[in-house]
Structure formats: C-alpha cells, structure tokens
Structure 1
Amino acid sequence: MIAPDAPILVFDSGVGGLSVLAKVQKVLPTAPVIYSADYAGLPYGEKSEIEVATRVCAFLGRLSERYAPRLVVIACNTASTIALAHARAVLGVPIVGTVPAIKPAAEQTQSGVIGLLGTKATIRQAYVDRLESEHAKGKTLLRHAAPELVAAAEAKLRGEAPDPVIFANAIGGLTDQTGGDQIDQIILGCTHFPLVEQELAAAAAEAGLREDLAFVDGSDGIARRVANLTEGQPWPAKPSVGKFISTGPVEQIEPYRPALLRYNLTQIMSL
C-alpha cells in the first residue's frame, strides 16, 4: 500500500528539472514532491560516463532510503542517457527517465532537418544514436553541444540576465552546419534549456530561421508517464510543502529561493 504522502522524487544536477516538475505538477497538482539537485557534481555534461553513473546511483540510493518515494524522475538528459539502466537495477521503485525528444521532433518536422542542443555528454551517447536510427530515419539530425546554456538557465533562475551572445552562439552552432538554415524543429536536449526557450527563440529569429520553427522537449511525455504509473494511487487532498535537497551548502541555494517558491519548494536543505 502506498501512503498518500509518499513523495515523487525529482532528480537533476541543478535546477533544470524544474521544467519537468512544472509539467508533473499540472497533471498531479497535490503530489508531494522532493526535488534533489546534485550541485556538488554540477555540471554533469563535462564528466565521464562512469562518474555520472556512480554519482546518480549513490545519490538516488541515499534519498530513496531516507524518503521512500513512490516514484523517481531523473529529470536530467545526461544522467538518463548514461545512468538510467544502472539506477533501475539498484532501486526498488519505478524510475522515469528523460531523453532527447527525437521521436516527436521527427514526427513534426516538415523540412526534414532537426536540430539537437544538448550537453557534450548527451549528444555523444550511443543512446542518442539509437533514438535517431529508430525514429528519425530519412531525416537530418544536426547536433550541437551547448553546455553554456546550463549556466545561463541557472543565472536566469537566480534573477540575473544572461548574456544574449550565449544564445546566439548556441543557435549558430546548429545553423553553421550544412542544411542548418532549414531546421524547423530544435530539440532541447537538456532540462535546463526550456528555462531559456524564450531567449533561444529570440536568437533563432535574429538568425533568420524559418517562421515555423518549434522547440521540442520531453517534459509533457514525462508528466503523462508519471500520471500513468501512479494511476489509482492515493494523493493528499491539497498540495503539501515541497522539499529542495542539494548536495551543496544551503547558502548556495538561497539565490534560487524566489524561483523555487513558484514550484511550492519551500523547504531548502543540504544532504
């Protein structure tokens, strides 16, 4: 039996997973939430596969023992493409991962040219190669590593104004490739990136990309999957106080407090 107050555990290297949490909260508005950020390990995109897999499994193991979640969401593309299978092998709860939204982008493209923005670790994964082979046959997938967007999204959540050059460079990394001017779908292959979608859209318009350009991420599909896996389970009658747990010092998270309050994450603590 699952208690109504059993939480959903949302995990990311930083605050990028908030873009996923927002969609989960829309479909399950009273779900108890524990959001966990591995700030001591940020950024994941610059780490080796073994480092990421080890950190993710160790961190989720400790949190699962302490809070007994009903379900875990790995709201990080890099962590999911590297460590999802490992985490499922060691944790005794359902785990929903986050992978680049190549399938919906391939289904929606009219030009046949798709862009993928991600971290260095994500875009080089064989997992992404398989997604392309399975879902984007006959399409052109252009990949570009834009790790600077992670820091830009984090800065925006702190109330700072990121440098517009960051977004221009990210878009340019796609358009400078052969056929890049025909991109009509850009996959945001890191959960941090939807947090700066407006800035990326402005840069794309400035670069003269197609008017029918769309940005695609996997958050809606994740929310539907979470709702499906928890269908019929009991929930509290009203939203409860959410917890934000970081591997870094609490003081490091204080600048994010106003943003976290928008997601009902009012308790900030260090692991």
Structure 2
Amino acid sequence: MSVLIFDSGLGGLSIRREIQLLRPDLSIHQFADHAWLPYGAKRAEDIRSRMLTLIPEMVDRVNASLLVVACNTASTHTLPQLRATLNIPVVGVVPAIKPAAIQSATKSIAVLATERTITSQYLDELIQSYAANCQVTRIGANQLVELAESKLSGNAVDTSELRKILPRSLFPSSVDTLVLACTHFPLLKTELLSVLPDHIELIDSGNAIARRVSTLASLQSHPQPAEFFTTGTLNQATVRLLQAESFARITAL
C-alpha cells in the first residue's frame, strides 16, 4: 500500500518516522511544499485553494491509497474539502489536547503552534471539548518552523535564539505539559527540552497518527521505493538527510 505524507516542509518526517516504526511494510512517499513555507503565515482560503490544486495531482502521481496531511495548519483548514475531493482515506493531524489534559497533574497545559493554528476555531473547539477543566496557555511561534528546517539543512540550532522565542516567562509556573501542535516542532525536541523549565513534559500527536494509519492501511508484502517531492530547492545536507531516511528518489518539481 502506498501512503503519501504532505507537509509545508520537512515536518512530515516526524510523522513518517512514527509510521515506519509501526508499519515498516508500507511505501511512504512525502511531498513538501517548500515554495510556500510556512503555511502558518498564510490565509486559510489561500491554503485551501493551493492544496486542492497540488494534492490530487500528487496522489495520482504516486498512486497513493492513503493521504496523511502532516501539517496542523493545513489539517485545520482543508480536511473536509480534501475528503470530499479524493476517493482515498485522508488522515489529518490533530493537536494532542486530549492526552495532554489527561496527562497533566496540575491541569495546566500549554499549546505551542503556528499563529494560524493558535487562533483557529478548530483549536478553540478541541480545548472546549477535551480541556475545559484545564488552564490552557497558547503560544504562537512561526519562527520554530524555520529553525527546524534549518536544522535539517545541516545547521546547528542557536539555543540563545530559541530562548528569545520561548522565554520562560511565557509559561505559567503551573504548566506541566506542552503540546507540540506543529509537526516541525518534534524535530526540535532536544533543543526545546534544553530551554524549557525542567518540569514540563512534551507531547505530540505523531504516535496517534501512526496508529490511525496502521489501522487503515492494508499489509504490503513488497513495498515500492519511497520518493520525496518538493516544490522548492534543497541543499546537499538536506539531500543526504533524505537519503538516510530511505528515500530512493528526490525530485524538485
């Protein structure tokens, strides 16, 4: 079975790795819209229009049997339209509000996401449905997307810059759980843990998405070579990284 993962950049790798742990039998292709990165700064209607143009063509190109929209912003604004357009299952990324609310001992959680996700009605509804008994602090940080992309391009993350983006003053002392509500952010987990208060635990939706994909995907005895597609350009460090991630072919569109 062929799976296509879509993201605005390389954040989808965090989801792909989780799926591979559960289902190494699957052919998992990835499509990154680098030319339009970051989605978190774009208008919702523009995101929908672009995805409804790009995604069906790529689904056909790789003959995908399942689509994973590994971008919180895109999932928030396009899932109903994609499901109405495509005749394959579409799995979106849902911020891990519910497990965070259950896990939090203090019932005080924080959500770290792009500005577009932070201000979305979808996040409002998730919090109302699953974390109404919690104090929820919202933190928008579009800059972290660029830091994650830079890291995967071979550059070290400047932790002093990270501290400026996420000063400890942003976090009430009661917060004990931080939701990483962007697929780029788990790629910075080590660096985030180094600058956040020691008692804060990180949680993301990668494993939950992988379990959902595993449930929907049929067994594949002979997986086909995985391909990576981008609408942008990649430096040699990123190409080497993608080759190490077992992509047989890397194509700039």
1:254 aligns with: 236
- Determine if contact 2:100/2:179 at 8 Å carries over to the other structure: yes
Matched, 1:116 2:108: no
- Determine if contact 2:153/2:235 at 8 Å carries over to the other structure: no
Matched, 1:216 2:203: yes
Q: Gaps (5+ residues) in structure 2?
A: none
1:165 is displaced (CA, Å) by 2.6
1:3 aligns with: none
Counterpart amino acid of residue 244 in structure 2: R
- Provide the TM-score with structure 1 as the length reference: 0.89
Counterpart amino acid of residue 186 in structure 2: P
| Aligned ranges 1:130-141 → 2 under 5 Å | 130-141=125-136
2:29 aligns with: 34
Q: Gaps (5+ residues) in structure 1?
A: 1-5
1:210 is displaced (CA, Å) by 4.9
2:250 aligns with: 268
- Determine if contact 2:25/2:219 at 8 Å carries over to the other structure: no
Question: In the superposition, relative to structure 1, how do residues 7 and 254 fare at CA in structure 2: closer, same or farther (>3 Å)?
Answer: farther
Matched, 1:196 2:196: no
Q: Which runs of 4+ in 1 moved over 3 A?
A: none
Bigger mean CA deviation after superposition, 30-39 or 14-23: 30-39
- Determine if contact 1:183/1:210 at 8 Å carries over to the other structure: no
1:183 aligns with: 175
1:54 is displaced (CA, Å) by 1.1
Q: In angstroms, what is the RMSD of aligned CA positions?
A: 1.5
CA distance in structure 1 between the partners assigned to 2:209 and 2:37 by the alignment: 23
2:229 aligns with: 245
- Determine if contact 1:45/1:122 at 8 Å carries over to the other structure: yes
1:60 is displaced (CA, Å) by 0.8
150, 169, 177: which one aligns with 1:155: 150
Cα deviation, 1:55-98, whole Å, max 9, x if unaligned, reads: 12211111122222110000011110111111111111100000
2:70 aligns with: 75
CA distance in structure 2 between the partners assigned to 1:244 and 1:160 by the alignment: 21
| Aligned ranges 1:227-246 → 2 under 5 Å | 227-230=214-217, 233-237=218-222, 240-246=224-230
How many percent identity over aligned positions?
Answer: 36
Counterpart amino acid of residue 215 in structure 1: L
1:43 aligns with: 38
- Determine if contact 1:149/1:166 at 8 Å carries over to the other structure: no
